[in-house]
Amino acid sequence: MENEGQEKEPEIVTEVNLKEDFQASGVADILAELDDSLIGLTPVKTRIKETASLLLVDKAREKLGLVNESPTLHMSFSGNPGTGKTTVALKMANLLFRLGYVRKGHLVTVTRDDLVGQYIGHTAPKTKEVLKKAMGGVLFIDEAYYLYRPENERDYGQEAIEILLQVMENNRDDLVVILAGYKDKMDKFFESNPGFRSRIAHHIDFPDYSNNELLEIAEVMVASMNYQFNEESKKAMAEYIKIRKKQPHFANARSIRNAIDRARLRQANRVFNSSEGPIGASFLSQIEDIDIRQSRVFSGGIDK
């Protein structure tokens, strides 16, 4: 019964206007947003632009009857923590929606726990539930390599992988799967699961941020929370980044976010202790260098 629905009279199209399609789809807005809202990540942005134009051209070819197979859209994002994989996945879902490759464009973020069950017979319904929730949108599997645990042969992860592969193949029009995780672990994962490798068309690497990019990110984050740096605190932040980057558990933008959160805490404390009488908005939103320099990082300790 599956294909009986496509009985509509095919419209006869002999030419397409790519520029017009591009305008109409609203993809330009998303790409511009991607450029504005994400700092750095140039290779990622380039890849996404390439993918977007490929998909746009594919849609046009489909209109002209040059292709009838829908392209494989499953992707893998590899990179260190805090390099913007989830953020880009969100944008990607929106992009695919605008281009008409997914019907709803929502993003469902899951990890191993959401897919793999705890006892026999628990995994399949759990995985299917998640897949159904993601249909019409994008399923984002964070740290996907944890699905496969070769050291435990009775691990239920394999079952989840099999269902996932089956749905990725049979319901290609219904959902797009994005796998994400550290580069080396992802590579190992693909090596041991060739089924995944062949079903994923786009591999995108997320590079680490440079110090300047991280500082820029810090400024954007601070501004979005309605705070501001001055010259000294900016300098302190730059120094903080330099030191923090060499320490273990550095998670790029996420570490910066945490550092700012702690700086806000110290700022609030300082403001509360020092203020007597009425104070203005600018005083409340000013982050001084002392707020940052009090961090354990400067005294050789580690910020989590």
Partner 1 sequence: MRVTQGTFSFLPDFTDQQIHEQVQYCIDNGWAVSIEYTDDPHPRNTYWEMWGHPMFDNPDAAAVVYELNECRKVYGSYYIRIIAFDSSPGWESIRLSFIVNRPSEEPGFKLSRTEVKGRNIQYSITPYSSDKPQGSRYK
Residues that bind partner 1 (CB under 8 A): 1-2, 4-7, 103-104, 106, 131-133, 135-137, 171, 173-175
Query: Are 194 and 175 within 8 A, CB to CB?
Result: no
HEC readout, the chain: CCCCCCCCCCCCCCCCCHHHHHHHHCHHHHHHHHHHHCCCCHHHHHHHHHHHHHHHHHHHHHHCCCCCCCCCCCEEEEECCCCCHHHHHHHHHHHHHHCCCCCCCCEEEECHHHHCCCCCCCHHHHHHHHHHHHCCCEEEECCHHHHCCCCCCCCCHHHHHHHHHHHHHHCCCCCEEEEEECHHHHHHHHHHCHHHHHHCCEEEEECCCCHHHHHHHHHHHHHHCCCEECHHHHHHHHHHHHHHHHCCCCCHHHHHHHHHHHHHHHHHHHHHHHCCCCCCHHHHCEECHHHHHCCHHHHCCCCC
Minimum gap (Å) between residue 140 Cβ and partner 1:
15
Minimum gap (Å) between residue 94 Cβ and partner 1:
14
Minimum gap (Å) between residue 176 Cβ and partner 1:
12
Q: Cβ closer to partner 1: 133 or 197?
A: 133
Q: Cβ closer to partner 1: 131 or 141?
A: 131
Q: Cβ closer to partner 1: 173 or 184?
A: 173
Residue 81 burial (CB < 10 Å; 0-12/13-18/19+)? middle
Residue type, 104: K
Minimum gap (Å) between residue 132 Cβ and partner 1:
3
Q: Cβ closer to partner 1: 57 or 124?
A: 124
Q: Cβ closer to partner 1: 30 or 131?
A: 131
**Which two structure tokens, joined as six digits, stand for 95?**
């992009």
Minimum gap (Å) between residue 173 Cβ and partner 1:
8
Query: Are 189 and 182 within 8 A, CB to CB?
Result: no
Q: Cβ closer to partner 1: 131 or 287?
A: 131
Minimum gap (Å) between residue 121 Cβ and partner 1:
14
Q: Cβ closer to partner 1: 131 or 237?
A: 131
State the Cα–Cα distance between residues 214 and 256, nearest whole angstrom. 7
Q: Cβ closer to partner 1: 42 or 170?
A: 170
Minimum gap (Å) between residue 68 Cβ and partner 1:
16
Minimum gap (Å) between residue 148 Cβ and partner 1:
25
